[in-house]
Amino acid sequence: MRWVRSSFAARSFRSKLILASVACILLPALGTMMVYNYLTRDAVKDQAIQNADQTLKLVEGHVSNEFRYMLYLMNYFTVDQDILFLLKNLAAEPYDRNRETEEQFLNGNEVRKSISSLTAAGQQSFVSIVLNNGMAFTNYWGYEYDPRLLLDKPWVKESENTFGLESYWAGVMPTVFSSEKARNPYQITSVRPLRGDRNAIYGYVVVTVMESLIHQYFEGLPTRQEIMLLDREDRILSHTDSGLIGSPFPEMREVLSREGTPILQRGGIAYLVSEKEISIGGWKLVSLTPYKSAVAKINDIFQNVFLFQLVSFILFFLLLLVLLRAFTKPLVKLDKVALRVQQGDLEVRSSIRGQDEVGRLGKSFDQMLDRISDMIREITETQARKRKAELDMLQAQINPHFLFNVMNSIRMKVMRNGDRESADMLSSLSKLLRMTIQDTGNIPLHDEVETAIDYVLLMNMRQKQEVALEVDIAADVLMERVPRFVLQPLIENALIHGLNQMEGTIYLHAKREEGAILIQVRDNGKGMDAAALEGLRRRMLGLHGEAEDRSEKRGFSGIGLANVYERMRMTFGSSFSMEIESEEGAGTCISMYLPL
């Protein structure tokens, strides 16, 4: 082990990669070839069983649908209140075929219409409703079969042990309908008693379908698969060979009781056995698939795949030895460039390009060096803009301590003279000056909103026409912290430039929205055209060198739109965004998105 470690340590990365690649490909391939035969046999058998189960599941769906339709017919005649009312009235009176009353005729005709309309569009089925007084209603002609004979059948008597929506499945029996005997020798029948007061039975509903309707789904299956329907006692109820219907299938229980793969030996041929229970009387579907035909196609696929893998391994093994040297050549060059960068040369580039991982690595390495240079320049420019923004803030503070103290003295004197309006104006101005005395850190949003309200109040006192300020701040954002004086410049722009210091409304909204806090300042002023809007956006982003056009009229704070944008970006980073929307005659809206 020590010799192996020392040998690898002395080799280059290229040699290590070649040896490791050969070992990782060769050893698994040899192991695969050794265990392939053992694993393939079990995999082939399991796949054959899965295929048989899938086919059986598909057949079970069709067969269950046929039986569900029979249940649907019986449910209709034992649940529908109109039909039950007619049947109870008909069963309550004596019946004579030769002296049928008008009421019996009319009510019976309604029952027959219901049977005919219900069975007209579905599968071919024979419905019989037989009452204890001898009345019978069917969807077939009387010459086909006399339904009153059903009352003497033993399985009809056995159905008396069922209640509610339970049905008694009589199983398979010879066909009794004269028109079907020749082509359908067997039928499958289900019966349900009609119960009145105190569960007294006054009749029976019998639904019958031909056995061929079931075994039609057993035909044309792949791999010569044989499917049959068995009852609880493993008697065959349905089969493509009518000669086997009614005969027992005792091998079924013996096969399923064994451990391992269920295989039945019959006539010197091995069959895979699968079963699927259906929700009818404990019946089940059983399939017998010849083992050889079931696994032949799958076995061929496995053998072809193995041969392809073997040939592919040899070809790729040779190709790998040739290509590894070509692939590692750019890595050697990249290593030399990294050494020069380590020595402090940030101008060197690898110039390695390509569509593979090494090419993308060389490109990313060069882009990383470019980004480092750009970041150095950006940091320098950001620091310069930050110092400029702080200078603008300092210029807005005109000896605040002195002005604040004098303003409070004047306010108290005015209040003593009874001039309440002037005192309120001085109070609002004092609040604004107090904001300038506080430190330059962030403040709660509600304090910033109060500053904006005081500012509008002051502006309304000095203007001829008042401006309304509508404030809608969500309660869950009131305590979020923001830089000072970020709302006042926006409201100042809306008041001076949007409304031209005329009458109008300014709307201030704030709420949480998709992982951010949305703050909007909107006015219903004159708005601006597309060219003016684009110019304002560019000045906000500082694309003209100056954050604000100095020729524009400045407000109370002297902090322009671009200054607000710059300070918010420095506070919240690149996740902060500001949008400006405007339309002539409809006003302007400024939206700020503060990340949470």
Answer for the pair 119, 74: CB distance below 8 angstroms, yes or no: no
pLDDT of residue 550: 41
Q: Which helix (H) or strand (E) holds 230?
A: strand 226-230
Q: Which residue has the tokens 């209640």?
A: 163
pLDDT of residue 54: 86
| CA separation for the pair 526, 501 (Å, rounded) | 11
Residue 524 maps to a domain: yes
**Structure token pair of residue 255:** 């096969």
Integer angstrom CA distances of residue 246 from 53, 205, 211, 238: 25, 24, 12, 8
Backbone angles phi and psi of 237, in degrees to 5:
-95, -30
152-183 in b/e form (b: 16+ CB < 10 A) is ebebbeebeeeeeeebbbbbbbebbbeebeee
Same domain for 147 and 282? yes
Residue 567 maps to a domain: yes
Counted residue by residue, the chain has a size of: 596
Q: Which helix (H) or strand (E) holds 14?
A: helix 13-79
pLDDT of residue 544: 47
**Structure token pair of residue 297:** 């196609």
pLDDT of residue 150: 92
Pairing of strands 467-473, 504-512: parallel
Same domain for 375 and 238? no
We report the CATH number of the domain holding residue 271 as 3.30.450.20
Same domain for 248 and 378? no
Same domain for 282 and 356? no
Q: State the pTM of this model.
A: 0.47
Same domain for 268 and 351? no
We report the CATH number of the domain holding residue 589 as 3.30.565.10
| CA separation for the pair 574, 578 (Å, rounded) | 11
Smallest CA-to-CA distance from 410 within 398, 422, 428 is with 422
Same domain for 80 and 174? yes
**Structure token pair of residue 550:** 């100095």
Residue 168 maps to a domain: yes
Residue by residue, DSSP assigns 330-350 as HHHHHHHHHHHHHTT--S---
What domain count does the chain have?
Answer: 3
pLDDT of residue 98: 81
Residue 498 maps to a domain: yes
Residue 428 maps to a domain: no
Same domain for 57 and 166? yes
The whole domain housing 515 covers 468-543+557-595
Same domain for 354 and 277? no
Same domain for 100 and 171? yes
Answer for the pair 503, 464: CB distance below 8 angstroms, yes or no: no
Residue 11 maps to a domain: no
pLDDT of residue 46: 75
Please give the DSSP secondary-structure letter assigned to residue 265.
E
Residue 165 maps to a domain: yes
Alpha carbon of residue 434 to chain centroid: 54
| CA separation for the pair 287, 227 (Å, rounded) | 4
Which conformational region is residue 589 in: left (phi greater than 0), alpha (psi within -120 to 50 degrees), or beta? beta
pLDDT of residue 33: 66
Last residue within a domain, chosen from 264, 291, 318: 291
Per-residue pLDDT of the chain (596 residues; tens, 9 = 90+): 565 565 555 566 767 777 777 777 777 777 776 776 666 666 667 777 788 888 888 888 999 999 999 999 999 988 889 888 899 988 888 888 888 888 888 888 899 999 988 888 777 899 999 999 989 999 998 889 999 999 999 999 999 899 888 899 999 999 999 989 889 999 999 999 999 888 899 999 999 999 999 999 888 776 678 899 998 888 999 998 888 898 998 777 777 666 666 788 777 788 888 888 888 878 999 988 887 776 666 667 767 777 787 788 788 777 877 777 777 778 777 878 888 888 878 788 888 887 877 778 888 888 888 888 788 778 878 777 777 766 565 555 445 555 666 666 677 777 777 776 676 677 777 666 666 656 557 889 998 999 889 888 888 877 778 899 999 999 999 999 998 888 988 998 888 888 887 889 999 999 999 889 999 999 999 999 999 888 888 888 875 444 344 434 433 333 478 888 888 888 888 899 999 999 998 999 999 999 98
Same domain for 107 and 248? yes
pLDDT of residue 3: 55
575-584 long-range Cβ contacts below 8 angstroms, 24+ apart: 575/516, 578/540, 580/533, 580/536, 580/537, 580/540, 581/533, 582/527, 582/528, 582/532, 582/533, 582/536, 583/527, 584/526, 584/527, 584/528, 584/529
Residue 186 maps to a domain: yes
Q: Which residue has the tokens 């001898």?
A: 134
Q: At what angle do helices 357-395 and 291-342 cross, to 10 degrees?
A: 50
Same domain for 171 and 86? yes
